[in-house]
Amino acid sequence: MQKTPAECTTMADVRTEIDRLDRALMMLFAERWGYINRAAEIKRPLKLKADIPARVAEVRENAGRNAIELGLEPDFYERLWAQLIDHSIAQERKLLGEDEA
């Protein structure tokens, strides 16, 4: 049974909930990855590049804004998202054959 942080009375409770959340985050990342792959499929016939700087800036700004709205430290999450974006662009480049050029 899922517990809120306040309902956790032992470290085992806390660890169980962190593990549950980590799994949920991984599931969301896997879902996001599906969209990255689909983006490459859509970009190919449109002759779009993997790296679209305006979109990269928008996603990074969204990460910082979302962090602030949720009471999280924006610099950390902007850096985390920068890694996520870089990894996503690398995957799109691979799928689009940009690495071969």
CATH number at residue 45: 1.20.59.10
Q: Can you give the residue range of the structural domain that contains 63?
A: 5-100
Binding site: which residues?
Answer: 15, 32, 43, 92
Asked if pLDDT for residue 101 goes beyond 70, the answer is no
List C-alpha distances in Å: 11 to 4, 20, 31, 60, 96. 13, 14, 30, 34, 46
Cα–Cα distance for residue pair 35/33, rounded to 1 Å: 5
Q: What is the mean pLDDT of residues 4-9?
A: 98
Q: What is the pTM of this model?
A: 0.86
Binding site for substrate: which residues?
Answer: 15, 32, 43, 92
Q: What is the mean pLDDT of residues 80-87?
A: 97
Total structural domains within the chain = 1
Cα–Cα distance for residue pair 90/42, rounded to 1 Å: 16
